[in-house]
Amino acid sequence: MSGTPKIALSGVHKNFGSKQVLRGIDLAIGRGESVVVIGGSGTGKSVMLKCILGLLSPDSGSIRIDGEESVGLIGQDREQLLRKFGMLFQGAALFDSLPVWQNVAFGLIQGRRMAPEAAKEHALDKLASVGLGPEVGDLWPAELSGGMQKRVGLARAIATEPEIIFFDEPTTGLDPIMGDVINDLIVDSVRELGATTLSITHDIASARKIADRIAMIYEGRIIWQGTVEEIDRTDDPYVTQFINGRAEGPIKMQLRAL
């Protein structure tokens, strides 16, 4: 990593009422780097992405994009900044009042004022790259399976070819083969677009494939980070428990015995 990081979080806190979700996140992502965040359900991974995008405002801490502080940006400045970003939401978040192709082309038509015909062509290209044929373009989001919605969401996130792309659980709900196609797509978009990506996943195989670096979040902090080789060699008990998927270990699920 050289120069200013593309994204730098330091000491980011976020509470919802009395519930502390983020308790001081420190994470830096270099230009063109692909970072994968792993961690248990409900540990605040999606909240962290939303804080970076400004959809949620952190209670304290700093988030720098290209070296510029972004916490507190609103209105035009925020809109300008968000042009650099693409985001795949965990629940796809497709616009259900628009057909699929318009969903994919939305950022081009509304955000970049591209002519609808050109944007449609572009959208169908992107759909093809996530394994969906042109006939899907005219369907409505409600007519798609969960996995197809996810792929349309992915096509929408990369359609404007942004500098920074966030993938919130890109392979959850996909069959293993399609999951691997999506992994390749993420790797390609980093390579071809030179995009910086931050992905969230529970899928260790996917993380191994797409990550330059893996970070693990636990109790609102990044407790470990390292490369894919390092994660296999680490003896950090939290990380080993997580990647091996064991119920016994330092990470306790809050369950009651039956």
Partner 1 sequence: MNLLAEFGRALGEPLAGIGRTFLHFLTAIGRLVIFTVVAVSHCARPPFYYRMIIRQLIDIGYYSLPVVGLTTLFTGMVLALQSYTGFARFNAESAVSTVVVLSITRELAPVLAGLMVAGRIGASMAAEIGTMRVTEQIDALTTLSTSPMKYLVVPRLLAGLTMLPVLVLIGDLIGVFGGFLIGAYKLGFNPSTYIASTWEFLEPIDVISGLVKAAVFGFLVALMGCYHGYHSRGGAQGVGTATTNAVVSASIMILVFNYVITEMFAG
User: Where along the sequence are the contacts to ligand ATP (CB under 6 A)?
Assistant: 16, 21, 41-47, 90
Extended beta strands in 17-84, E state: 19-29, 34-39, 60-65, 68-69
Other C-beta atoms lying within 10 Å of the C-beta of residue 151: 28
Task: Name which of 119 and 215 has its Cβ closer to ligand ATP.
Answer: 215
Which of the choices Mg ion, partner 1, ligand ATP, none does residue 41 contact, using the CB cut-off of 5 to 8 A by kind? ligand ATP
In the bound complex, which residue of the shown chain has the CB atom lying closest to Mg ion?
A: 46
C-beta of residue 13 within 8 angstroms of C-beta of residue 20: yes
Task: Name which of 41 and 244 has its Cβ closer to partner 1.
Answer: 41
d(CA 160, CA 13) in angstroms, rounded, equals: 30
- Tokens of residue 170, six digits: 């890109």
d(CA 208, CA 230) in angstroms, rounded, equals: 11
Of 5, 38, 85, 182, the residue at the interface with partner 1 (CB under 8 A) is 85
C-beta of residue 105 within 8 angstroms of C-beta of residue 123: yes
The candidate with the shortest Cα–Cα distance to 29, out of 63, 57, 61, 58, is 63
Task: Name which of 43 and 160 has its Cβ closer to ligand ATP.
Answer: 43
Task: Name which of 34 and 46 has its Cβ closer to Mg ion.
Answer: 46
**According to the binding rule CB under 8 A, does residue 55 interact with partner 1?**
yes
**According to the binding rule CB under 8 A, does residue 238 interact with partner 1?**
no
**According to the binding rule CB under 8 A, does residue 210 interact with partner 1?**
no
Beta strands 60-65 and 213-218: pairing type?
unpaired
Amino acid at 161: E
State whether residue 42 is helix, strand or coil: coil
**According to the binding rule CB under 8 A, does residue 106 interact with partner 1?**
yes
Residue 160 Cα to chain centre, angstroms: 16
Minimum CB separation from partner 1 for residue 71, in Å? 16
**According to the binding rule CB under 8 A, does residue 89 interact with partner 1?**
yes
Task: Name which of 196 and 225 has its Cβ closer to partner 1.
Answer: 196
Could you list the residues that contact partner 1 (CB under 8 A)? 50, 53-55, 79, 82-83, 85-87, 89, 91, 93-97, 106-107, 110-112, 156, 160
